[in-house]
Amino acid sequence: MDIATPTDYRTIAAGLVFPSEAFIDGHFVAARSGARFANVNPATAAILGEVAACDSEDVDAAVAAARRAFDTGAWSRAAPEARKDVLLRLAALLREHAEELAVMESLDSGKTITDCLNEVGHEVPNFFQWYGELIDKSFGKVAPTDESALALIVHEPVGVAGLVLPWNFPLLMAAWKLAPALAAGCSVVVKPAEQTPLTVLRLAELAAQAGLPDGVLNVVPGFGETAGQAIGRHQDIDVVSFTGSTEVGALFLKYASESNLKPVGLEMGGKSPFIVLDDAPIDDALVSNAVSAALWNGGQNCSANMRQFVPRARKDEFLDKVLARVASLKVGDPLDPATEMGAMVSADHQRRVLGFIDAGIGEGARVVAGGSGAIEGLDGYFVRPTVFDDVTHGMTIATEEIFGPVLGVIPFSKPEEALRMASDSVYGLHATVFTRDIDRALHFARRLPCGTVSINRFSEGDIKTPFGGYKRSGSLARDNGTEAIAQYQQTKTIWIGGPEG
């Protein structure tokens, strides 16, 4: 069937059965306390259903199941080909259920159906396929020794991994962590964000269908302070991988230091620059990249390039073209394939973003598009795409992560001034540079203190390239690429024979 209209997607939505329980040891179960929380569609403010609110007792049960599964070796010590087959079957099932999952994700998060179809229907299955394929192609090492000894360096799954997820790319962030963790042979306990628990619960069901043994993948929906903290402090969780705010990332370091010193992989906030050097033509490609770098996913993106540095002499040309593109953005019903920007994830988050816009106005920046206020005819938690002129380095909106659809233009006189302001942030996740000059491109790429530098387009890289941040944007752990597997593995030396030493 060729699906292309909002009505088609609404028909799928009407037929959806939303998961509502935790997934522990291969089964859907209620929270032990019986507690539940309301799950809201942020584009309509309607309640989609109620979901089990797990707390530390449920986390204990999930960890016990994960540990049992790990110790049996049914997954952790299974033949690489067997684990690969399961992940490939999961990838196939995810593709088969792509439209169902994409609509569920859109309803749960307010994201556009177009983005959900791309992420859930295409990128997510590709993650399970890519890491599945990697399993039987990953080798250990043999260290150089004299001929009386053999020194092997092997990798082993670390054990039980706690994965704590954000709401901005619910199933994609699950896949970023789950696929390498499962490929490494770990058992996992996943806590989705309270705003977006649905699709990862459905994925757990599909993983069981694909043949993943009971207990290997457990999902505990619930709140950060309860379920999230219980994961962070658990004595029998061997590693945590977290994506979310820098404040909560810091809490996970504290939890680890106050419990079992588990390693913590952190992917956190950003305040990423988009730098236009004076030789770059301000053409359609540049303008479209500038707008999507700041506003894609409603700006709810850790690598959003909100700070846009433009040569003073070319600021008017840049702003005119950006404003024309922003004016044409279609904001509204996420289930309409023509929609380019959906809702903010929650009423709280809408308030937070509007608060930043008010702070920008209060500190003297000038709104030239959008600004505060609801959008007529829309009941959900929308924010107009907003563009600020007269932003100066040091203003709140140029310093703190807004995580909303806000683009700020900061003029500069010399390229080194742009480099200095762009680098002067507590964050270091991402940067984009537009220039035709290869020497300048390399200079900026080398000097910008961040995990990804993208030249002449806005890109976070892809499945094959590591993603993570410098400074308060991340730890040394990386998601994606072969590097991600390292988060979930121990390295062991096996030394055989040789002279006594």
State the residues that interact with ligand NDP by CB under 6 A.
164-168, 191, 193-194, 223-225, 228-229, 232, 243-245, 248, 251, 267-269, 302, 352, 401, 403
Residues 268, 243 contacting (CB under 8 angstroms)? yes
Task: Give the shortest CB-85-to-ligand NDP separation in angstroms.
Answer: 31
187 or 473: CB nearest ligand NDP: 473
Among 123, 105, 106, 95, CA closest to 198 = 105
Query: Rounded to the nearest 10 degrees, how much is the dihedral formed by the CA atoms of 291, 293, 296, 300?
Result: -130
160 or 193: CB nearest ligand NDP: 193
Cα-based distances in Å from 64 to 24, 58, 69, 164, 222: 10, 10, 9, 18, 18
CA distance 231 to 238: 10
Task: Give the shortest CB-401-to-ligand NDP separation in angstroms.
Answer: 4
Cα-based distances in Å from 348 to 96, 175, 195, 207, 353: 35, 26, 11, 33, 9
Task: Give the shortest CB-241-to-ligand NDP separation in angstroms.
Answer: 11
Task: Kindly state the tokens that stand for 360.
Answer: 């920008």
245 or 459: CB nearest ligand NDP: 245
Task: Give the shortest CB-39-to-ligand NDP separation in angstroms.
Answer: 12
Residues 6+ apart with CB under 8 A from 79: none
CA distance 187 to 168: 24
390 or 400: CB nearest ligand NDP: 400
217 or 286: CB nearest ligand NDP: 217
Task: Give the shortest CB-302-to-ligand NDP separation in angstroms.
Answer: 3
Q: Write out the catalytic residue numbers.
A: 267
* Locus of tokens 């997510």: 124
Task: Give the shortest CB-321-to-ligand NDP separation in angstroms.
Answer: 28
* Locus of tokens 């619960």: 201
Torsion sign (Cα): 186, 189, 195, 198: positive
Task: Give the shortest CB-412-to-ligand NDP separation in angstroms.
Answer: 25
* Locus of tokens 């049996």: 72
For helices 80-96 and 198-210, give the axis angle rounded to 10 degrees: 130
DSSP 3-state helix, strand, coil percentages of the chain (rounded to 5)? 40, 20, 40
